C-alpha cells in the first residue's frame, strides 16, 4: 500500500515550514502569492489530501452539518423534493470539504432527541431546520443549544434563526385562478400534515382563491403529503353526493395517489375531475395525464441554505434570503368541468 502524503512532505518539497503550508492551503494570510501558488502546486502534484480529523482537531470543528428529517424511509425514497434539496446543499458543501449528516426520525420526539445528541456530541457545526411546525419544539431547543441554524420556509412569523424562503402565494394564487377560469366551482383540497407551516400556507391559499372568486369552500380531506393519503382522499371525495370537479393537492405525491385511485374507480382525469399538485417534481411531467402543479426550487433552497449556514458557522452576520417565488405549471391534468 502506498504511503499517504503528509503535510510535512508538502512542506519539504516546497521548501517551506509546515505552518506556511497550513496557512497557504487554508487560505490564511501571511504568505506571498508566489509562495502560496508553489505550495498549492506541490500539494496537487504529490497527491496530498487534507485530513478531516486533523482539521477538526486544529480548528475545533467537526466540518459537518446536520439534517434531521421526520420521515419513514419508504416515504423519503418516494419524495424527490429532498433529493433536490440535498443536491443543492452538497453543491456548496463539496467546495468547502464539509460533510452532510442525514438522519431519519420516526416521531417528533425522536427527531428532537437527535438534534440534541448531534449538538452535544459535537458531531456537527450547524444544522438545517426543515418541515417546521406551527408550534415547533425544536426552535427553543436549538436556541438553547446555541447551534448555528438555518431555517427553511419558516413562514413570516417570529423565527429566531436566519431563514431561506420561497414564497408559495404567487404560484397558488395563479393555480386557483386557473381552475376558476376553467369554470370550476366545486374545488376540493387535500391537505398536508396537520400542524405544519407549509400545510397551513397551502390550505390558506386555497381558501383565499375561493374567496376571491366568491366560491364556497369545498370539502377538505387529509392527505398527509403521501400517495397513500391521496388515494384515501379519492375514496372520500369521489363518493360524495356531489363530488368535486377539481381537487387541489398539497403536494405532487398526494396528486399521484389521487389520480391512480380515481382512475381505478372509473373517473376520467381531467374530463370528470381535474387534479393539481405542488412541488413540481420531475416525475409529474411523465405520469398520465401530466400533472398541473406549482413548481418549487428545492435545489436553490438547498444551495442558498448551505451558503448561509457556512457563513454563520464562520462567524459572519447573515439575514433572511428569499429565492424566486413558486410558479404555476399548467399541464394536462386540468380541463373545464363536465357539463
pLDDT of residue 104: 86
pLDDT of residue 53: 44
Which grid cell is 272? Answer: 370528470
Contact, 233 vs 258, CB < 8 A? yes
Q: Which of 53-57, 131-135, 154-158, 266-270 is least confident?
A: 53-57
Residues 6+ apart with CB under 8 A from 218: 186, 187, 188, 189, 210, 244
* Domains of the chain, start order: 7-50 (1.10.260.40), 64-166+298-325 (3.40.50.2300), 169-295 (3.40.50.2300)
Contact, 153 vs 164, CB < 8 A? yes
Distances, alpha carbon 102 to alpha carbons 64, 95, 223, in Å: 10, 19, 26
Q: Which of 44-48, 80-84, 99-103, 279-283 is least confident?
A: 44-48
Of the candidates 337, 320, 309, the one whose C-alpha atom is nearest the C-alpha of residue 67 is: 309
Contact, 21 vs 11, CB < 8 A? yes
Read off the pLDDT of residues 311-338 as tens digits, 9 standing for 90 and up. Answer: 999 999 999 999 999 999 999 999 999 9
Start-to-end CA distance of the chain, whole Å, equals 76
**Hey, is 31 helix, strand or coil?**
coil
Q: Which of 53-62, 66-75, 195-204 is least confident?
A: 53-62
- d(Cα 57, Cα 74) in Å, to the nearest integer? 37
Contact, 262 vs 234, CB < 8 A? yes
pLDDT of residue 56: 47
Contact, 238 vs 265, CB < 8 A? yes
φ, ψ (nearest 5 deg) of residue 194: -65, 140
Residues 6+ apart with CB under 8 A from 20: 11, 14, 30, 31, 35, 39
pLDDT of residue 331: 98
Distances, alpha carbon 148 to alpha carbons 60, 89, 112, in Å: 15, 16, 16
Contact, 192 vs 223, CB < 8 A? yes
Which grid cell is 58? Answer: 486544529
β-sheet bridge partners, residue 65: 100, 126
Amino acid at each position: 500500500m502506498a504511503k499517504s502524503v503528509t503535510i510535512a512532505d508538502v512542506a519539504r518539497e516546497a521548501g517551506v515550514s509546515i505552518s506556511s503550508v497550513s496557512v497557504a492551503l487554508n487560505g490564511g494570510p501571511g504568505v506571498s502569492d508566489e509562495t502560496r501558488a508553489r505550495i498549492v502546486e506541490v500539494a496537487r502534484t504529490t497527491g496530498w489530501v487534507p485530513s478531516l480529523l486533523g482539521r477538526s482537531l486544529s480548528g475545533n470543528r467537526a466540518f459537518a452539518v446536520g439534517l434531521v428529517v421526520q420521515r419513514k424511509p419508504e416515504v423519503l425514497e418516494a419524495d424527490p423534493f429532498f433529493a433536490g434539496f440535498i443536491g443543492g446543499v452538497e453543491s456548496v458543501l463539496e467546495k468547502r470539504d464539509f460533510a452532510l449528516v442525514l438522519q431519519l426520525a420516526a416521531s417528533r420526539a425522536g427527531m428532537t432527541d437527535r438534534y440534541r445528541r448531534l449538538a452535544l456530541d459535537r458531531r456537527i457545526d450547524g444544522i438545517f431546520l426543515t418541515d417546521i411546525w406551527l408550534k415547533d419544539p425544536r426552535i427553543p431547543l436549538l436556541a438553547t443549544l446555541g447551534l448555528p441554524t438555518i431555517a427553511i420556509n419558516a413562514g413570516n412569523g417570529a423565527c429566531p434563526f436566519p431563514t431561506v424562503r420561497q414564497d408559495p402565494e404567487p404560484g397558488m394564487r395563479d393555480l386557483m385562478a386557473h381552475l376558476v377560469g376553467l369554470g370550476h366551482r366545486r374545488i376540493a383540497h387535500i391537505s398536508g400534515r396537520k400542524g405544519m407551516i407549509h400545510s397551513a400556507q397551502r390550505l390558506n391559499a386555497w381558501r383565499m382563491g375561493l374567496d376571491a372568486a366568491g366560491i364556497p369552500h369545498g370539502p377538505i380531506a387529509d392527505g398527509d403529503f403521501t400517495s397513500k393519503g391521496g388515494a384515501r382522499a379519492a375514496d372520500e371525495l369521489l363518493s360524495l353526493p356531489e363530488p368535486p370537479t377539481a381537487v387541489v393537492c398539497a403536494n405532487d405525491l398526494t396528486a399521484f395517489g389521487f389520480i391512480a385511485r380515481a382512475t381505478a374507480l372509473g373517473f376520467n382525469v381531467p374530463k370528470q375531475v381535474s387534479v393539481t399538485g405542488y412541488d413540481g417534481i420531475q416525475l409529474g411531467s411523465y405520469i398520465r395525464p401530466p400533472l398541473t402543479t406549482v413548481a418549487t426550487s428545492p435545489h436553490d433552497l438547498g444551495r442558498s441554505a448551505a451558503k448561509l449556514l457556512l457563513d454563520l458557522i464562520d462567524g459572519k452576520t447573515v439575514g433572511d434570503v428569499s429565492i424566486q417565488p413558486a410558479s404555476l405549471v399548467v399541464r394536462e391534468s386540468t380541463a373545464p368541468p363536465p357539463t
